[in-house]
Structure 1
Amino acid sequence: ALIALFLRWRSRMHTMNEPVMAELKLICSSFLLLFLFSWLGASIASGDAGLSKVVLRLSVFLTAGAAAYLVTTLGSDAIVEACAQNPTFSLLMSFLTGEWVKGAFTLVCLPLVPICIAVEMLHNVFRALARRCLLTDREPGQWITEEALQIVGWVSTWHVSSVLSKSIWVGIIYFVLQVGCGRGVVVLLAWICEVSLGLSWFAVVCILYGLGSFLFLLPPIPGYPIYMVSSILITKRMEAEGGHFLLAALFALVLSLLIKLSAVAMQQKMIGEPFCESVRVKKIVSIHTPEMKAIRHILSQQGMHWDKVVVLVCGPDWPTSVLTGILRLPLCEMLMGTLPMVLLILPFSLAGSFMVHASTLPDNTIAKRRYEGVASTLLFVSMLLQMAGMMLIFQCTQTMIEKYKDEIAGGEWMKDPQEEEVMREIQEEQMQKEERQEATRWSILPCWIKLVLVFGTMLMSLMMHIIILPFVKPFKDFSLQDKFSDIGEVSFLINQAGWVAIASLCASVACLIVFDVWSSQSASALEQKPLCAADKGRARYNADAP
């Protein structure tokens, strides 16, 4: 089905006059979909850990396949030339060739480096034997093939220390999202769900509302586990008192929507608006980029336009609401535009109720399997709805950029009052970055710092592969409908491979701290050298003066 969808998509996007651009649009759209698959894998882990793992692993393999297809079909030169002619792809290429992507590439491909070197050495030996047998001219003496040397030359142009440090940061972010948010939050919510069963209805509603509002204020945590735990807890309480599980789903839907609207108001008023005059925050948000100006235009429209509603409903919870506060947009319109969120909450509420109801039925019965199947289907449908919404956001943003490209080029369209200050801040940060990179060039690093950085990257790569490989099981499966009392303590959920992954993570973070401390001291020393020289010259001038 995926292959058929890919071919259908390719046939619709391809044009005879722009085949390279059509292929780029196709693959970049595929990359976006796969990235969304990975992000949503953490969300659906609350309901179905097996589905989450399948989604994450499928995303990794399909991303590698799409990248290989792009390079082998078009070639690197054609890709670079086509991207230079398109502003959007030019911006995308600057990201794909940046150090964060190189760090992620290093983290994933590091275990393959020894294998690739051995294969290339063997390949070079066979090629030399073939040339000798055919009495052809030999290549200059080298230990790997010419193609491999080109890759080595490309890697040698990297700022190695910066790439390796960012690869460790990528691993930290991956662990926080997939283990901390995808599993840790699920265990916490399951424990709260179990201890709340004996409380009154008023206490249960207050706990769910307070907990949900608090978790919404944390940037990396998606809202969907909150919707699931509300549905599961309310359904358990209502069925225990003789109520119907569909009525519980409706109650959970209303409560979840109330939590979401309250979170939107708090994120906008308590986080976004207090920082609306902060140049540093606006620089982090990239308020000066065409994409953010397009989103600002969409959100600033008067009334309930469909693209405005799509951004408010389908955008990531925390960033979207905080951005509306930074832009000082009216709260009432933001709340009204968020109301269609009920369509995305509904599948999660129904899925949680179906799961709880299925757990009350006898094992190996048709009814139990039917309800479990419906719950899994609802989770998958909810994921598809989110992906479709994010694709619509991407389309709306690009449409606005294309529509107002002349105004954007003029620089005055949707210009922030502090945009010039933001640009100066970016220039200063770039200068500081260049100074830091000069102080941490790989050629001048001490050997022990090089070893620390390489060792930390290897440990982080080990951690990542332990978690993502299908034949390694670092953690036991646990979902919101499971009982925390059955496991006794959180450590029971961690297998031996999981402890190895956690130890590797901690050791890698320690290596990163050592490198950061050393690089900060080196950068400070480098900044003081010119000042010291200037002071000496000034003192010499004063001494010679009459």
Structure 2
Amino acid sequence: CALKFVAIIIQQEVIGRRLGERVTIRAACQINSTFIRAARFVLTQPGCTFGKMMILCGGPDWPTSVLTGILRLSCVKMLIGSLPVVLIIIPSTALGACLAMSNRQGWEIVSKLVTLVAGGSQLGVSVGFAAVIERAASMHANAIASLPYDDEVLALESQQRSRERAWRTASDWNRDGYPRSARVVLTTAALLGVTGCHLPLFVRCFERVTVADSFTGPPLHGNPLNVVRGVQGWTVICCFALASALLYGHRKWLNEQASLILPIDDVAGNAPEMQEQALPAQGAAEEDAKDVAEERVVEEDVAEGLVHGVAGIPERPMPTAAAGSSNSYYAPNPGVSTHTAAEGGRL
């Protein structure tokens, strides 16, 4: 129990509260995911609730304890809420003791019984943890949705998605430029891994050792390498070691290829944003062209009106010439009817 509480303190105060200022730590906790946001909502509620205890006791140390440190929650209150974890630790500790005594007469039945109790307690707290998260996510969806997102983590996740796209492109066997040597390396590593996994099924490669066996007794006799049985055992180890080395080299090469593809992928990924930025400029250009066209139409109308001698004349009622008057100012222009002149004034 003491080790559990010490682990909670270290994870909350050191990793969560201190190292939680780093965006990589917060991203590793998936702080923007719906699951963690629901846990965040429950943990930040006032008081010591059943939901808090289920999350603190049933949730994994990472990211539960680290999340409490990132949220700057009280360490003392989190330890108090974690006290029921003793009910889970006791059956697990008893199970280990029973397994150590399983080679003695009468302890085999007790070991099986304690195994059921320990498994049931672990299953129960896990189901309770999942039920609390699901209930919070469904009943308080609006409140959880209103919680702020971590912008730095969002930016990092966007970069990671770009990296993943570049990685998938680089690891595509069907793409142009994928070298044959890389295919040979990856195929060889796969064959070595399959050989190492299936060889122990046909040949005994390792000695059987349990927690109840003495280190100085058979089959170890004080040397841990005695667990390897003959050439077949070392063959399995060599297969896994060589396969791991080949996979490491292949992965390193893929990282270099993804780094070369990443700038191109970023440009392609930002194409929609560039199009959105170009839309306002395109709309402004269209508006300018429309204005120019309208001005040209007005100029043409004005020019046509000048030809007929009516453009530029303000619209006003045409006075009626006095009877017998010869004043040409009030007389209509030759060739232009009164109706046409009135329409020209409205142009």
TM-score relative to the length of structure 1: 0.43
Specify which of 175, 181, 197 is matched with residue 448 of structure 1. 181
Structure 2 CA distance, aligned partners of 1:466 and 1:386? 35
CA contact (8 A) 1:276 1:327 kept: no
The aligned amino acid for 1:280 is T
Residues 353 and 435 (structure 1 numbering): CA distance in 2 closer, same or farther, change over 3 Å? closer
Structure 1 CA distance, aligned partners of 2:199 and 2:252? 29
Cα deviation 1:505-524 (Å, max 9, x = unaligned): 21121111221222233334
Residue number in structure 2 paired with 1:493 = 227
Residue number in structure 2 paired with 1:383 = 119
CA contact (8 A) 2:101 2:212 kept: no
Residue number in structure 2 paired with 1:347 = 91
Offset of residue 288 of structure 1: 0.8
Cα deviation 1:174-208 (Å, max 9, x = unaligned): xxxxxxxxxxxxxxxxxxxxxxxxxxxxxxxxxxx
Aligned residue for 2:21, secondary structure, equals coil
Q: Larger helix proportion, structure 1 or 2?
A: 1
CA contact (8 A) 2:163 2:262 kept: no
Offset of residue 305 of structure 1: 1.4
Q: How many residues align?
A: 259
Structure 2 CA distance, aligned partners of 1:528 and 1:304? 50
Structure 2 CA distance, aligned partners of 1:321 and 1:509? 33
Residues 383 and 477 (structure 1 numbering): CA distance in 2 closer, same or farther, change over 3 Å? farther
Structure 2 CA distance, aligned partners of 1:339 and 1:395? 20
CA contact (8 A) 1:348 1:382 kept: yes
Cα deviation 1:19-72 (Å, max 9, x = unaligned): xxxxxxxxxxxxxxxxxxxxxxxxxxxxxxxxxxxxxxxxxxxxxxxxxxxxxx
Structure 2 CA distance, aligned partners of 1:390 and 1:336? 19
Aligned residue for 2:46, secondary structure, equals coil
State how 1:91-490 maps to structure 2 within 5 Å: 257-354=1-98, 368-369=105-106, 371-408=107-144, 411-413=145-147, 415-416=148-149, 419-443=150-174, 444=176, 445-465=178-198, 474-486=205-217, 487=220, 488-490=222-224
Structure 2 CA distance, aligned partners of 1:504 and 1:396? 45
Residues 527 and 270 (structure 1 numbering): CA distance in 2 closer, same or farther, change over 3 Å? closer
Residues 381 and 521 (structure 1 numbering): CA distance in 2 closer, same or farther, change over 3 Å? same
Residue number in structure 2 paired with 1:507 = 242
Structure 2 CA distance, aligned partners of 1:317 and 1:521? 34
Offset of residue 491 of structure 1: 1.5
Structure 2 CA distance, aligned partners of 1:381 and 1:456? 42
Higher relative contact order (CA 8 A, sep 6+): 1
The aligned amino acid for 1:270 is V
Aligned residue for 1:484, secondary structure, equals coil
Structure 2 CA distance, aligned partners of 1:439 and 1:355? 49
Structure 2 CA distance, aligned partners of 1:529 and 1:302? 49
Residues 431 and 358 (structure 1 numbering): CA distance in 2 closer, same or farther, change over 3 Å? closer
Offset of residue 504 of structure 1: 2.3
Structure 2 CA distance, aligned partners of 1:296 and 1:529? 38
Structure 2 CA distance, aligned partners of 1:529 and 1:353? 59
Structure 2 CA distance, aligned partners of 1:423 and 1:520? 22
Structure 2 CA distance, aligned partners of 1:395 and 1:386? 14
CA contact (8 A) 2:205 2:233 kept: yes
Aligned residue for 1:286, secondary structure, equals coil
CA contact (8 A) 1:272 1:323 kept: yes
Residue number in structure 2 paired with 1:164 = none
Structure 2 CA distance, aligned partners of 1:311 and 1:500? 45
The aligned amino acid for 1:517 is K
Residue number in structure 2 paired with 1:210 = none
The aligned amino acid for 1:315 is G
Structure 1 CA distance, aligned partners of 2:151 and 2:182? 39
Structure 2 CA distance, aligned partners of 1:358 and 1:453? 44
Offset of residue 427 of structure 1: 1.2
The aligned amino acid for 2:214 is K
Larger Rg: 2
Cα deviation 1:392-417 (Å, max 9, x = unaligned): 21121111111122344xx423x24x
Structure 1 CA distance, aligned partners of 2:264 and 2:48? 58
Q: Structure 2: state its 5+ residue gaps.
A: 266-347
Residue number in structure 2 paired with 1:521 = 256
Structure 2 CA distance, aligned partners of 1:449 and 1:269? 45
CA contact (8 A) 1:466 1:472 kept: yes
TM-score relative to the length of structure 2: 0.66
Offset of residue 338 of structure 1: 1.6
Offset of residue 353 of structure 1: 4.2
CA contact (8 A) 1:264 1:321 kept: yes
The aligned amino acid for 2:19 is F
Cα deviation 1:78-114 (Å, max 9, x = unaligned): xxxxxxxxxxxxxxxxxxxxxxxxxxxxxxxxxxxxx
Structure 1 CA distance, aligned partners of 2:225 and 2:7? 32
